[in-house]
Every structure is written in C-alpha cells, then in structure tokens.
Amino acid sequence: MAGWNPFGRKEEKPIDGDSAENPLDQTEDSPSTDARVGMFGWAKSALKKTVTVLNTDIRDLVGKEGRLVDDEFLDELFAYLIKTDMGNGPAERIRDDIQDKFRGRKVMMIDLVDSAKETILEMMQQEPAELAQADAGPTVIMVVGVNGSGKTTSIAKLCQLFTSQGKRVVLGAGDTFRAAAVQQLTVWADRLGAEIVTGKSGGDPASVAYKAVDTAKKSNADICIIDTAGRLQTQANLMDELGRIRRVMSKVIEDAPHEVLLVLDATAGQNAISQARGFTEAAGVSGIVLAKLDGSAKGGVAIPIRQEFGLPVKFVGLGETPDAFARFEVQAYVDALFDQVAEDGADA
C-alpha cells in the first residue's frame, strides 16, 4: 500500500506548489500501470485465503483437459462459489451464465474464469467511490457499524490519509459507551496529529458529535470524523440515536454529515450483511468500508454487499495499522479473486 494513494490516482501527478492536494478530489485520469499494480497488489494479498480455496476447488472441478458442462458440473460449481460467501444470487448468476454459454460443450478453465469475472464485474459496477466533500468548511464523516467491526481502526486509517496530505483533522469520540474506546481513539489522535473531542464516559454521544463538529468549524479544520458506539440493528433506541447524532451535526453545518460510512467485518462473511441491513436507513449510510479483508476466507462477500446495500464499497481494511487501507477498485478486486485460478489454468 505504501506509495499508493487510496483516494485516487493523485500520485502520478505533480503537486502544485504548496497547495496540498485535496485527498477528496478525484480525477478522471485513467490509472497508470503503477497504480494498477498497486491496487491489484492489495487485492491479491488481501484475498489470499479466499483465492486459495477457490483456486483449488475450480482447478479440481475443471481439470487440465476441461470439463463437460452438465447439471452435475453446474451444481458443483455453484457449491464452490458460495463457499466464498458471495451468496446465492451472485453464484446463481455466474452459474447460469456459464450454462447459457457452454451447456453440452466442454469448458476450459480460462473460459470459465473469464465468464465469471465478466458476470461479477457487471454485478458490482459502481461509480468511482469518491468520498463526499463539503462545499465549504470542514467535511464531516460519521462512522457506524456493529461492535468490533473495525470502526475505530478505520477512523485511524482515514485520519492518517488526511493528515499525511496536510489536512487538519478533528476526531469526535462518539463511542461514550466504553471508556476504552475513547482511550483507543485518543491514542490514535495523538499519534496521527489530530485534535480530539471527548465527552464524559456514558455521556450523550450526540453532544460529543455536536462539540466535535463545532470545534472543527471554529478552528477551520478540513475534516471532522465522528466515531460511534457499536450497536445492533435490533436495538431500536440505539438505531434512533444515530439519527439524533446526525441531526445534531446539521445544526452546526447544515449539510453535515457529508459522508456516513458503514464499517463491515469481512471475516463475518454473509453475517456482516444480515447484521447491518438496518443501518442504511437509520444512519443514512452513503458508503461502505469493508474491514479485515486481509484475514477473511470469505472475500467473495464484497459482491453481495455491493448488491444488497446498493451502496459503493469505498475502502477496504487490510490490517491493523493505519496504513493498511486502500480504496476499493472493482476491477482489481475481480482480477485478484480469480488471478491464481487463471494463472494455473494457463499453466495447465
């Protein structure tokens, strides 16, 4: 990830004077070869566990000589695909496309992989996942999700991105529920050179959010990121609280929060989806961070996440350190998912 800017394709371009680049800006430039290698690199290493399983299964299924596409084959293929936690819907589509194209004929590994990639790309198409940006004043980002999904760590990662670009960041320790959460965020703030606004333990998170946004506005900060306590979508009062936190921010800056990121734990696979459905409406989620992709054997889950939430996956978490973070790129993701399989297929 080092040397590659998850916010876009900025590093290929010289920075004008000291007008530090705004990491929220995006360009239409097509990525350079270097950037593509970088994106593919993260995806490849993060998806290692998933790819190893898929690789073995599909290689065994098709064999070196290719395989006749009949019902038995299609059933087996389906079973292997859902092992990646891509879900029934996507696995059915991939299977059906293979059936339409190859039924009664022999399919080779490379053709199967090409067809699957094409289907997934179609399903996952998304606008470039830019972070929203305030027209004027600080951009406010609120971060929500279930307990332990990776919210606070993802905030540290976002913070590092911004501070490394010379942006001034204010963090709001809105998880007043656990004292350790405030401490965790304070440590990151100190380390990353951000200001932090905290409240009383057990206090009202909305008042912390208010104070943080107000501080950011008064001190002319560039970015304000608000942490929130983990919660379950079944806890109606806590879900309502997210709405309250939102509303309070908009009293300071009318269109805040500009971005609400839902952090999902990739190691939870399909469970990550069922646990978080209720967040989109309650918190007005605008984008997804898929954390812990590095440790997940269920890396196919990015596919149903994209489909079910109808929201762009904006970032992926690739480790516990603040730099282990990358902008999500559909093409790199899909290439990596089948990379090993395709390579082996070519060798066969």
Binding region for ligand GDP (CB under 6 A): 145, 147-153, 230, 263, 291-292, 294-295, 317-320, 324
Q: How far apart are CA 32 and CA 255, in angstroms?
A: 35
Q: How far apart are CA 44 and CA 111, in angstroms?
A: 21
| 296 scored as a contact of Mg ion (CB under 5 A) | no
3 exposure class (CB count in 10 Å sphere: 0-12, 13-18, 19+): exposed
CB atoms within 10 A of CB 125: 9
Kindly state the smallest distance separating residue 289's Cβ from ligand GDP, in Å: 9
x/- track of binding to Mg ion for residues 164-193 (CB under 5 A) = -----------------x------------
Q: How far apart are CA 180 and CA 319, in angstroms?
A: 20
Phi, psi values for residue 324, rounded to 5° = -85, 70
Q: Which is nearer to ligand GDP, 322 or 345 (CB)?
A: 322
Please report, to the nearest 10 degrees, the dihedral formed by the alpha carbons of residues 239, 244, 249, 255 taken in order: 80
Kindly state the smallest distance separating residue 227's Cβ from ligand GDP, in Å: 7
167 binds, among Mg ion, ligand GDP, none (CB under 5 to 8 A by kind): none
Kindly state the smallest distance separating residue 181's Cβ from Mg ion, in Å: 5
Kindly state the smallest distance separating residue 228's Cβ from Mg ion, in Å: 8
HEC readout, 96-142: HHHHHHHCCCEECHHHHHHHHHHHHHHHHCCCCCCCCCCCCCCEEEE
Q: Which is nearer to ligand GDP, 66 or 257 (CB)?
A: 257
Q: Which is nearer to ligand GDP, 300 or 317 (CB)?
A: 317
Kindly state the smallest distance separating residue 157's Cβ from Mg ion, in Å: 13
The per-type count for the chain, helices as H runs and strands as E runs, is 14, 10
x/- track of binding to Mg ion for residues 140-169 (CB under 5 A) = -----------xx-----------------
Q: Closest-CB residue for ligand GDP?
A: 317
Q: How far apart are CA 238 and CA 282, in angstroms?
A: 10
| 228 scored as a contact of Mg ion (CB under 5 A) | no
Q: Which is nearer to ligand GDP, 32 or 321 (CB)?
A: 321
319 binds, among ligand GDP, Mg ion, none (CB under 5 to 8 A by kind): ligand GDP
Look-up of token digits 């092992």: 83
Structure tokens at 46: 């993060």
| 196 scored as a contact of Mg ion (CB under 5 A) | no
Q: Which is nearer to Mg ion, 153 or 296 (CB)?
A: 153
DSSP state of 146: S
Kindly state the smallest distance separating residue 148's Cβ from ligand GDP, in Å: 4
Kindly state the smallest distance separating residue 169's Cβ from Mg ion, in Å: 17
Can you give the binding site for Mg ion, defined by CB under 5 A? 151-152, 181
